[in-house]
Amino acid sequence: MNKILLSSLAMILILLAGCSGSSQKVEVYFSDQPTMIKLDRSEDSLAEALEDAGLNVTELKQKYQPSIPWNQPLEEQSRVDLSCNCKVSLQVGGKKMGTFQTLATTVGEVLKEKNIPISEWDEVNVPLDQRITDGTQIIVDRFEHRLQKKVELVPYKTKEIEDDKIAKGEKEVEQEGKKGKKIYEVVMMYKNGQPLLQNGKPVVEKRLVDTVKPVEEIVKIGTNEALAKEDVKLSSAGTLTVQATGYTHTGGRTATGTYPHRGTIAVDPDVIPLGTKLYVPGYGYGVAEDTGGAVQGYIIDLFFESRAEAIKWGRRTVTIKILK
């Protein structure tokens, strides 16, 4: 019935729109139609004038809401608006919001009526200023950018340096290597809460925002054959993995009464007895001659002739040999 009504109305609109106008005419606009009709201004009511124009008023009353009462005379009117009580379906963000009747005249008014905000990223399947007609379907797709940070590790290089102060066949790490980083800003596109796909793959924008350069690892390679032979002669009674720190002159004697010198090593006597001969990779041979308040458990303190050497040594984890 609606299709018949619309077809008849459209024909009448075309015929009436072509009639010559005058100042005594009343313009009648239909919200779902692009044209208007003109009625004679008279004592006839709106309903009577429309019926005289050949329109089915009973059907009009079911579909339209006028800007004046149907029974109001047109003698003082110049314009009348008939708002379509149209059936509209709405879908937002991939979810169906249902079908409903509305007197809103445009798509934008419907969305405002339903409190549906539209951002610059959203897409609507029809223009916001499009007229609402019976059966209008409005689809709002929500698009969003989600920002993440991604860190990629960069491997470090290892540099080997020959050192004749180290027994041949042994290695010492002079500088620990550290991996670098590449930090990316990753933006993923989502449509209605799901990753946006292009050719079956998520749409991703990746941008490098920061880098941390890797730290080269420096390893000393022993070349001293004499130390290697001596090491073979002085067979090991065992090994211990300890934390080795460095110290320098304090002005006093050691716990065994000697003056400290290179080769003096402070130990915890409960772990390494005083007088024990030791070999420390990267330092050399020494004797457990001293103790210290901070030297507890598996910690040893190596004597250096200068503070600079002690600081350079720092704190290292080493596996020492206990010599017979």
- What does each C-alpha distance from 194 to 141, 159, 232 come to in angstroms? 11, 48, 68
Query: According to the model, what pLDDT value does residue 155 have?
Result: 94
Residue ranges of domains in the chain, CATH in brackets? 2-83 (3.10.20), 86-141 (3.10.20.30), 150-218 (2.20.230), 234-323 (2.40.40.10)
Q: Say what percent of the chain tops pLDDT 90.
A: 58
C-alpha span between 292 and 262 (Å, rounded):
17
Query: According to the model, what pLDDT value does residue 19 have?
Result: 44
Mean pLDDT of 297-322: 91
Q: What is the dihedral of CA 283, 286, 288, 294, to 10 degrees?
A: -20
The model's pLDDT over 220-266, given as tens digits with 9 standing for 90+, comes to 888 887 766 655 555 567 888 999 999 998 888 999 999 999 999 99
- Model pTM score: 0.52
| pLDDT higher than 50, residue 15 | no
| pLDDT higher than 60, residue 10 | no
Query: According to the model, what pLDDT value does residue 229 have?
Result: 62
| pLDDT higher than 90, residue 27 | yes
Which parts of 149-207 fold into alpha helices (H)? none
The model's pLDDT over 106-162, given as tens digits with 9 standing for 90+, comes to 999 999 999 999 999 999 999 999 999 999 999 999 999 899 999 999 999 999 998
| pLDDT higher than 60, residue 16 | no
Query: According to the model, what pLDDT value does residue 116 have?
Result: 94
Query: According to the model, what pLDDT value does residue 18 have?
Result: 46
- Phi and psi angles of residue 272, each rounded to the nearest 5 degrees, phi first: -125, 115
Query: According to the model, what pLDDT value does residue 7 have?
Result: 52
Look over the chain and give the mean of its residue pLDDT values, rounded to a whole number: 87
C-alpha span between 6 and 286 (Å, rounded):
107
| pLDDT higher than 90, residue 30 | yes
Q: Say what percent of the chain tops pLDDT 70.
A: 89
- Closest listed residue to residue 53, CA positions, set 80, 86, 31: 80
Residue 31 — left, alpha, or beta (φ > 0 → left; ψ -120 to 50 → alpha)?
A: alpha
The model's pLDDT over 33-50, given as tens digits with 9 standing for 90+, comes to 988 899 988 889 999 999
- Closest listed residue to residue 255, CA positions, set 244, 240, 266: 266
**HEC string of the chain?**
CHHHHHHHHHHHHHHHHCCCCCCCEEEEEECCCCCEEEEECCCCEHHHHHHHCCCCHHHHHHHEEECCCCCCECCCCCEEEEEECEEEEEEECCEEEEEEEECCCEHHHHHHHCCCCCCCCCEECCCCCCECCCCEEEEEECEEEEEEEEEEEECCCEEEEEEEEEECCCEEEEECCECEEEEEEEEEEEECCEECEECCEECEEEEEEEEECCECEEEEEEEEHHHHHHHHHCCEEEEEEEEEEEECCCCCCCCCCCCCCCCEEECCCCCCCCCCEEEECCCEEEEEEECCCCCCCCEEEEECCCHHHHHHHCCEEEEEEEEC
pLDDT band at 282 (very low <50, low <70, confident <90, very high): confident
Mean pLDDT of 201-230: 85
| pLDDT higher than 60, residue 313 | yes
The model's pLDDT over 166-176, given as tens digits with 9 standing for 90+, comes to 777 777 778 88
The lowest-confidence range among 17-31, 46-60, 173-187, 216-230 is 17-31
